[in-house]
Each structure stands twice: as structure tokens, then as C-alpha cells.
Amino acid sequence: MLSWAPSFAAETTHYEIVSNESARALMEISVVDALPLGNGILTVENEARAWARARVSEQDKGGGAARAALAMAALKIRLNA
């Protein structure tokens, strides 16, 4: 499972609540259901920073989250074999 979404900062701390609670919920799903999960939620101040963190040619955070989920899936298969 992979979750990817940008959360943009604003004048309030709402984006922090959104990103924290999203991460908490995803972790709970992962633990309760024993699902490999890659969390690609970005907390950024503007669209330019979101793209810089998302682009494959730059930080590729979504790709990193996907690779983490795939690595955990492979490990789960190996441990259950």
C-alpha cells in the first residue's frame, strides 16, 4: 500500500494536524492489518517545494515510499516462507 499526498502549510497549524493524523492512521493500518506501507505524505510550504520533493529527478519522495513498501512486502514474504 502506498499513500502519497502533499499537505501545504498555511497560516494555521491545520496542515500539521492533517499530516500527523494521516501518518498515525497509516501506521495503525499497517500494524493492525500487517500491511507493508510506504508513507509519502509531504508537508511543504508551497507548491515549488512539493514538486522538488516529488520529482523523480530531484528528491523522489514518492519513489522512496514505494520502494520502502515493496521492500517490506518482500521481507514479509521471506519471513512467512
* 14 assigned to active site: yes
Instruction: Give the span between the Cα atoms of 56 and 62, in whole angstroms.
Output: 8
Nearest CA-CA partner of 38 in 10, 72, 12, 78: 72
Query: 5, 10, 13, 14: which one is catalytic?
Result: 14
Q: Is 26:62 a contact under the CB 8 Å cutoff?
A: no
- Residues with a catalytic annotation lie at 14
